[in-house]
A = this chain, B = another copy of it.
């Protein structure tokens, strides 16, 4: 039976989960997959803290050489996070002839090109199922399941914190702040949730998914990113009344030879499969020319789901499939064409607009006039009854419109006397 000796670097939440599976379930995995995974060494700065896993003496040390210097270790699981030490570690591991498994989305999004190139140069592989949507085997679905398919669009709910917050705002009427506090209490949000709620984490995952789906190198800084920090209860409610559900979406779409790559809050029709994905769950919806629509749903984070994904990649290394993948798939090659990412101003979509106006005759006409002059056609408009004179909401949903025209129109509208605070815009995906 094939045996793969594994070194872990990073013994935190996920590292502890991987150690537990390797120590407790190696027999079961061997019986199922025909390969034996053996945890040979763990490296972490902290060698004393309790991770709820019983280790034999000598397994854990703070010396990186205990992993990198052991010639028996064939695969290194990088679970430290961050983009500095982790990057150097992976490059060193390749250099020492070791395959790498990582859950590090920020690193792959920022330095994927370099890492794939170095892996190729050293004849090694890098596997990263755990980097996108933890427990959902989405990298495999895109790479292997859709190997014969031309993918045209991917839309994902890929951040559990944001989805929990938006779900609680929609279902309980909670404020953004309250919903976020509950997410933190439940352990779905970090104590500093900035990278989650501002969309950065979703964009990291989108860069990886985009590379796998389209076989092109995505410049992370070209992804348009907006978070959920500005979302207000009123918009969720107005949207719901019109049959829409609000989600933070990560969207990668092939349009006229370019790629749209964007992360932002978006309304979906409430019967879209993604609209039903609630709380901390993630899902990725894929449209392909032959297969039509598929969706993959599950837990995007958490100790054991992410650890199980790491272990599935270790099985791939042990079986030799990771090596085959690294050699075959363009998306995993060192040199990959740069994607031409469409500027956000060039996209076309439907829009939800929430104007805040003074209740005076001619207001609706003034607003719709500006939209019309900018070539924006209105699908529906509503002015909910209010017993106030200022900050009266007008909600308009548009037909397909250009982002540049929309920006020009809103600039003009927001300068009108009768318009109070800045108009709120939410894109609609249909």
**With contacts A135-B291, A215-B32 known, is A324 near B328, CB below 8 A?**
no
Least Cβ distance of A212 to chain B in Å?
Answer: 10
A315 to B321, CA, bound (A): 13
Identify which of B271, B273, B315 contacts A147 (C-beta below 8 A). B315
A276 within 8 A of B: yes
A123 within 8 A of B: no
Which of A17, A134, A319 has most B Cβ within 10 Å? A319
What residues of B have a CB within 8 angstroms of the CB of A299 in the complex?
291-294
Q: Would you list which residues of chain A between 314 and 338 have a CB under 8 Å from chain B?
A: 314-316, 319-321, 324-325, 327-331
Query: In the complex, are the beta carbons of B291 and A148 less than 8 A apart?
Result: no
A422 within 8 A of B: no
Identify which of B28, B141, B149 contacts A150 (C-beta below 8 A). B28
Chain B residue nearest to A144 in the complex (CB): B140
Least Cβ distance of A336 to chain B in Å?
Answer: 11
What residues of B have a CB within 8 angstroms of the CB of A329 in the complex?
32-34
Query: In the complex, are the beta carbons of A144 and B144 less than 8 A apart?
Result: yes
What residues of B have a CB within 8 angstroms of the CB of A330 in the complex?
31-34
Identify which of B140, B295, B316, B327 contacts A34 (C-beta below 8 A). B327
A140 to B295, CA, bound (A): 14
A35 within 8 A of B: yes
A311 within 8 A of B: yes
Number of residues from A at the complex interface, CB < 8 A: 65
What residues of B have a CB within 8 angstroms of the CB of A21 in the complex?
148, 290
Chain B residue nearest to A327 in the complex (CB): B34
Least Cβ distance of A91 to chain B in Å?
Answer: 24
A57 within 8 A of B: no
Chain B residue nearest to A18 in the complex (CB): B148
A308 within 8 A of B: yes
Identify which of B33, B289, B294, B310 contacts A297 (C-beta below 8 A). B294
A93 within 8 A of B: no
A96 within 8 A of B: no
A296 within 8 A of B: yes
A308 to B129, CA, bound (A): 22
What residues of B have a CB within 8 angstroms of the CB of A310 in the complex?
148
- Interface readout for A385-425 with B: 1 if CB under 8 Å, 0 if not? 00000000000000000000000000000000000000000
What residues of B have a CB within 8 angstroms of the CB of A319 in the complex?
324-325, 328
Chain B residue nearest to A304 in the complex (CB): B290
A305 to B148, CA, bound (A): 10
A225 within 8 A of B: no
Q: Would you list which residues of chain A between 104 and 141 have a CB under 8 Å from chain B?
A: 129, 134-137, 140-141
A29 to B328, CA, bound (A): 11
| 19 CB-based A-B contacts, threshold 8 Å | A21-B148, A32-B147, A32-B215, A32-B330, A33-B328, A135-B290, A137-B144, A137-B145, A140-B140, A140-B144, A144-B316, A145-B312, A148-B308, A148-B314, A149-B308, A273-B277, A292-B298, A293-B298, A295-B297
Query: In the complex, are the beta carbons of A148 and B296 less than 8 A apart?
Result: no
A158 within 8 A of B: no
